[in-house]
A = this chain, B = another copy of it.
């Protein structure tokens, strides 16, 4: 999707087909999108790129590095497309929704994010959230708590959504069918042991993930506001 050429500065003929880190990442994303997390293999990838497995290792450290880079490409695009906003709150909301939609489109990003731990993709998200929290006039010592709450909530939802789609894919069913099956299981829980979860089953069937996600963001935002003057 993004044009790239900067990575082969020293190859005067610049063949379009030459291998490069960016081309490898691009192909990885395509593979992950079309066949899920288990679809990314050095064998399928090298096949797709018409090269040997070893060639990829010249441009990429290992599989973890590759996955992080692929994840970062998506996160970078998402952060770039969520700039403006009337208020800091509104910007945080669109930013969070942007991540939600990105993970909906690329479920593997959700689980990749839970493995990158302090690397570039995470830094990008922290930075965007942090700038908005600052604009919210949160005191210096409370800023990290606010950003951390938003960040970890987003990561939590991301991980669950990724797991849901992954689970559904493994069983070869639709994501909606999977959630429906889950609701059925929940509705059959022992009413004495699991009264709350059981009562939730119906809601589970009609709920909108995206709306629920935003409700959580709003809850945290209102928590940030209310601990302002303390």
Contact = CB atoms under 8 A, between A and B. Distances in A.
Interface of A: 111, 114-118, 123, 126-127, 130-131, 134, 143-149, 151-157, 159-160, 162-164, 166-167, 179, 182, 185-186, 189, 193-197, 200, 203, 207, 212, 215-216, 218-227
Contacts of A196: 126-127, 130-131, 134, 143, 147
Contacts of A155: 155-156, 159-160
Contacts of A185: 118
A183 B143 CA distance: 17
A46 B81 CA distance: 50
Contacts of A163: 114-117
21 contacts: A114-B159, A115-B163, A116-B163, A117-B160, A117-B167, A123-B194, A126-B196, A143-B196, A144-B207, A145-B212, A146-B219, A152-B157, A154-B156, A155-B156, A155-B159, A218-B227, A219-B227, A222-B223, A222-B226, A223-B226, A226-B226
Contact of A159 (B146, B159, B179, B227): B159
A51 B151 CA distance: 45
A179 B117 CA distance: 10
Contact of A144 (B179, B194, B212): B212
Nearest to A223: B223
Given A159-B114, A159-B156, A163-B114, A145 B219 contact: yes
Contacts of A131: 195-196
Contacts of A156: 151-157, 159
Contact of A153 (B127, B147, B153, B189): B153
Contact of A197 (B123, B200, B227): B123
A153 B160 contact: no
A174 to B, nearest CB: 15
Contacts of A152: 153, 156-157, 160, 216
A156 B110 CA distance: 11
Contacts of A167: 117-118
A219 B123 contact: no
Contact of A130 (B164, B182, B193, B200): B200
Contacts of A143: 196
